[in-house]
Structure 1
């Protein structure tokens, strides 16, 4: 034992004691560790699941007002005898389930912290527990939670008592048999189970509360897989044989429609798009895709979604199913008609009802061993950041309210994905971040195919001059002059307007060039800041250690000169590194540069490679510059913008190749017969999938899981609109992956 800072040095330390909690601690824990009454009921349902129940009946008894009514939770699980009640149920925070993670029936138990029973303390003021093991006596325990609110009472002063006697509630013709026999539940276990009766409710339950509870219970149990083909995960062993029924007695007639078995809405069984599959411990996915219009089913096969070299993902293996709806009127009408063929003309109220239902249940839920982990997928819980992602790429990306997704993990196979202490959410860390990345990477495969279905490619006329070709009034001017040769005023107005338009085009092109530089500069800032901070730290250490060595009494003048020269040499080396960093971003500076100067293309290629060399090394990709040197007059920053975007894209995709396969990016340049300049970036990656080739130059289309989809668009617009050239995907390049060629014709 150590003395405190203010302990009297002369005082003697003596005596022993123990922490003695007040009785109200249990009520406090029930309120703080269980965030809502809805979550409290879910905790009780989980306990029934852990007891191997096949059916759970949740019965609300009116009036549903504070201090009145009650809630009953009936199950046909294995029940408890008096010894189990005393050693486990009354042992708060017991580690019984942690030590025995499997139930008697083989289920992976959901509760491990031993606090779920405190849920009853949150729901009401009094609790009666009745339980029976098969072929055993019945046990009854009554707890008045208001006893724990006494200010003068300590926890060890509140006694609870139980009775043991002949079966009554769980007898052959008892109340349990009457309750379960009225349900549409097959195979319920007779003469065993548990019922928790909570009386004198803590709060009023409204229709909205019951709707929210019903929605939560609908999504509580792992849904039956709806997909087919590869990765659909239709293994019956993964589907818990577990049913929940909601019953309402002595309540307002307006609430009766909320009673009945808990089942998902039939309208949600026909999504417009669905992706199902599994992801293994190495981040390799097996995927299956379906879409409604036009009808298509595709086994995507095995695909590598993880491409970080320094470590494998800490999440996985897991399975998933993602269903997606387009929320426009036409698409929703089609979906409603597919779910209800008799409804040939869904009304506006039908559409509103469907959208309201989607708003309630949309999101991506996580299920551990068949049971839902809260709050993932709850209303407003966008744990994958889908809405922000869609803001960055609205044409391609999906929002959270378009998706009903299910991710299925196992406690034994994903040990790094641990619950937070309040049983809601998963602890933040590398495993959780990896799970987010992999789910988004899988979702991206659906998004690309959905984009293709919604944007069928039409034959486009040949474009010469990029986006701004359509702003030229030359053809109209010629036609009008031929039709009205004597109307000089009309000719003058057209010529003047055409000059205004061309001046505006020039200004927009300059703005486009500036923003292209800024977009590329933004991609370089993190790298420059990281390396720059490293250099600054080294400079500080050189100064600190040099000063320390110079001030040592034992150092003579000759040694001081040697120390100073060494520090100056080291400082010069670090200054050179800083200078190199500044040179990387110097061409992107915003100051006016005047007419382009003659530059060496090979030197610009070398600079682009040096900018991205560290990223390539991190991903085990070889960058190689090639070709003969070419001298041209061109804006160096715009040339770098094109190269950096193309090389960075090539590095990313080349890094997705499995170990043992060549990972190489070749960068070169050539001049053409028309004196134009062509930059070539070829890689040994997987190439561009045939279904994406028509869309890769579209703004906001990206094959990367978290890509914005502007890299190729920026490069393409810059090359076409400012240099009258083109950016093309070449069928056969120097390497077996993708090869892009950017040709500059004007201002070269």
Structure 2
């Protein structure tokens, strides 16, 4: 068998440039991205006129790490290199943007000739590479026949007073990395640049600039300092291109991001208290909270004091159109909305600044160190995702000494201090999310409408049938059709109720499994220990000493028996949630169910210093044990959570009780001495996905309400605690209770 290899013609390079780089604007943006990947702090795109085909030049200057001779040969001249896919972070920790290895193809699209000059830091040589792209237009030459050469010599472009220094000084006074960088000059332009194309370039480059925080961080001496500019882009035009002078200057962040829909800012003290300012675009609203409690744990947070600024946008069409109309004065088109969403995708994230300098990779594209996307998946109604937020957290080296960098520059070391910082930032964001929920609630069904008749009230077609009968009483075909459809809807509603009930059980079952695994492992460990130690003790005794052998065996059998009882109790708690079919509910004592619920939460309550009590009730009741237990588990879990957040000098008590009412309905009560429910939140807490917990899913009370109201025809009610501070929830079961 004969073999051969593919041998591309030289012109394929020009073809690839046209195919992979869609426009000259995209080509220049690709070169600027490469400068960013090289850890440049500044990039200057210099236009030399006349900017018409065959004349003029465009030079991209940067102050990045540059290339030595080995890198130039092995990386820059290697078309399609995967070096950036292998190394996704720059030396400084930036997430690399140009991952395709096609920067040199971008250069081939822009001009007929290319001159690349590069000098690494502290190097006494400067490399210069020249390419005449017309050589790649020769139909007779193969790609490997085109030779590219470079020279090395004394630094000129990146010398102390060379052209690079002059161009950077022309842009701004100081702040660049002197004596290093790369310039790529493309001369003999392949297209004519006009005002529209220059404006499109400026607009595209704005998406590479992250919006600067409005507030100023503090340095290690407690003084405010402007955040260090991590990446700057400038456009300059020479005298022959002076007609574009109005577009010269620094590229700033997109103006469309100047007005977030929601914004929260403030500071958190070392003890977990803080001050929070909330601002809202539509409807206009703002609030200021001082000395608010951001930390709800016994021990003091270990991260130290910090300040923050978090801006959030809704991404739905109407919200974006409203905000863009305020900024631009006109209704936004579909293409403008698309561009805005893409821009937000590029710059979204929460950055961390330490003493005014950005800490990488926090806030980089795709870096979700707060776990916002997972929170959003768990609670899509209330939580925001990472692509909706642009934020900054400001710390100091002296004020936050326990926030230590990883050696690979991939953020902070996992530590209690870092975990506490995440909790506090989420607590601040939670205040924004709570207000955002209220602002968006006007477009949703009110809490009263939600609760009245349960969530299945909208499945009732009685009104529709009456209207049809009144208006079309002679149309028997229509009446029959509506009756049939009504029966189908009612049957579907019953099926949905059954499925929802099943999944309500599964939702609580997940929490039960965690507790059973925890307590079950402890019980199993005690059994294993008893067996091992028993064997050792028995092995150390003379086999003829039956009395001592019996005594040792009985002692360890007792230990195994105690642990076995724990396992038996755990299995009994989960038994009602089994999948097997059950007949009519058994008659059982109410206080027995209370006892099982208290046993389940006993370890958690004691660890949180909460007294879990139950009133003795002499009541026999026939009810689905799983349903009642599920209701109590959700209510008690919430009660323990909030009661545990009280200070140790205040009472921490959760009480379960029950009663049979005069109409023979059953009411169970869960009362606590926690902070209670704020007046403004008392209706909202019953809505799906609303939660006051920073990481809450917001389904607990919704599940309970569904069971009590839709299945048992009862009601779930929040009452004022008659004994003072705290909350009192009452669940009344009206149907299917004997």
- Asked whether the two chains share a fold, i.e. TM above 0.5, the reply is yes
Residue 238 of structure 1 and its aligned partner are, at CA, apart by 3.7
Q: 1:497 to 1:556 in 2, by over 3 A?
A: same
Q: Which residue of 1 aligns with 2:521?
A: 533
- Say yes or no: does 1:657 pair with 2:642: no
Q: For residues 404-483 of structure 1, what are the structure 2 equivalents within 5 Å?
A: 404-456=390-442, 458=446, 460=448, 465-473=453-461
Contact 1:126 1:143 (C-alpha < 8 Å) held by counterparts:
no
Contact 1:682 1:735 (C-alpha < 8 Å) held by counterparts:
no
Q: Which residue of 2 aligns with 1:239?
A: 226
Find the aligned partners of 2:170 and 2:126 in 1 and give their Cα distance: 30
Q: Which residue of 1 aligns with 2:55?
A: none
Q: For residues 197-212 of structure 1, what are the structure 2 equivalents within 5 Å?
A: 197-199=180-182
Find the aligned partners of 2:601 and 2:564 in 1 and give their Cα distance: 20
Moved more, 454-463 or 381-390: 454-463
Alpha-carbon deviations, 1:506-541, whole Å to 9, x = none?
443333322222211111111110111111122112
- Say yes or no: does 1:369 pair with 2:355: yes
Q: Which residue of 2 aligns with 1:509?
A: 497
Q: Which residue of 2 aligns with 1:705?
A: 694
Q: For residues 25-424 of structure 1, what are the structure 2 equivalents within 5 Å?
A: 41-42=38-39, 45=41, 58-59=43-44, 71-73=61-63, 127=119, 142-143=124-125, 169=160, 179=167, 182-183=170-171, 185=172, 188=173, 195-199=178-182, 218=210, 223-225=213-215, 237-240=224-227, 245-247=232-234, 260-309=249-298, 311-340=299-328, 343-424=329-410
Find the aligned partners of 1:726 and 1:540 in 2 and give their Cα distance: 47
Contact 2:523 2:567 (C-alpha < 8 Å) held by counterparts:
yes
Q: Which residue of 1 aligns with 2:566?
A: 577
Q: Which residue of 2 aligns with 1:106?
A: none
Contact 2:36 2:231 (C-alpha < 8 Å) held by counterparts:
no
CA root-mean-square deviation = 4.4
Residue 283 of structure 1 and its aligned partner are, at CA, apart by 3.0
Residue 193 of structure 1 and its aligned partner are, at CA, apart by 8.8
Q: 1:401 to 1:500 in 2, by over 3 A?
A: closer
Partner secondary structure for residue 670 of structure 1: strand
Q: Which residue of 2 aligns with 1:686?
A: 675
Q: 1:691 to 1:145 in 2, by over 3 A?
A: farther
Q: For residues 473-622 of structure 1, what are the structure 2 equivalents within 5 Å?
A: 473=461, 502-552=490-540, 557=545, 558-622=547-611
Contact 2:405 2:413 (C-alpha < 8 Å) held by counterparts:
yes
Residue 247 of structure 1 and its aligned partner are, at CA, apart by 4.0
Contact 1:683 1:739 (C-alpha < 8 Å) held by counterparts:
yes
Residue 327 of structure 1 and its aligned partner are, at CA, apart by 1.8
Find the aligned partners of 1:602 and 1:37 in 2 and give their Cα distance: 70
Q: 1:666 to 1:488 in 2, by over 3 A?
A: same
Partner secondary structure for residue 656 of structure 1: coil
Moved more, 585-594 or 478-487: 478-487
Find the aligned partners of 1:319 and 1:626 in 2 and give their Cα distance: 47
Residue 696 of structure 1 and its aligned partner are, at CA, apart by 1.1
1:630 to 605, 619, 632: 619
Q: 1:418 to 1:498 in 2, by over 3 A?
A: same
Moved more, 518-527 or 376-385: 376-385
Contact 2:235 2:250 (C-alpha < 8 Å) held by counterparts:
no
Alpha-carbon deviations, 1:610-636, whole Å to 9, x = none?
111222222222212126332211111
Alpha-carbon deviations, 1:35-58, whole Å to 9, x = none?
x9556654x64xxxxxxxxxxx54
Question: Normalising to structure 2: TM-score of the pair?
Answer: 0.72
Partner secondary structure for residue 455 of structure 2: helix
Moved more, 692-701 or 719-728: 692-701
Partner secondary structure for residue 686 of structure 2: coil
Q: 1:367 to 1:676 in 2, by over 3 A?
A: same
Alpha-carbon deviations, 1:431-475, whole Å to 9, x = none?
333322222222122112111111126585696652334444556
Contact 1:126 1:142 (C-alpha < 8 Å) held by counterparts:
no
Alpha-carbon deviations, 1:15-42, whole Å to 9, x = none?
xxxxxxxxxxxxxxxxxxxxx9556654
Residue 720 of structure 1 and its aligned partner are, at CA, apart by 0.4
Q: 1:545 to 1:259 in 2, by over 3 A?
A: farther
Partner secondary structure for residue 337 of structure 1: helix
Q: 1:436 to 1:355 in 2, by over 3 A?
A: same
Question: Normalising to structure 1: TM-score of the pair?
Answer: 0.71
Q: 1:460 to 1:559 in 2, by over 3 A?
A: closer
Q: Which residue of 1 aligns with 2:736?
A: 747
Alpha-carbon deviations, 1:231-273, whole Å to 9, x = none?
9xxx9714247696434679999x9999732532222121111
Find the aligned partners of 1:472 and 1:680 in 2 and give their Cα distance: 31
Residue 288 of structure 1 and its aligned partner are, at CA, apart by 1.6
Q: 1:575 to 1:723 in 2, by over 3 A?
A: same
Find the aligned partners of 2:719 and 2:322 in 1 and give their Cα distance: 40
Partner secondary structure for residue 411 of structure 1: coil
Q: Which residue of 2 aligns with 1:154?
A: none
Find the aligned partners of 1:624 and 1:708 in 2 and give their Cα distance: 27
Moved more, 602-611 or 240-249: 240-249
Find the aligned partners of 1:266 and 1:210 in 2 and give their Cα distance: 12
Moved more, 388-397 or 489-498: 489-498
Find the aligned partners of 2:479 and 2:167 in 1 and give their Cα distance: 91
Contact 1:666 1:683 (C-alpha < 8 Å) held by counterparts:
yes
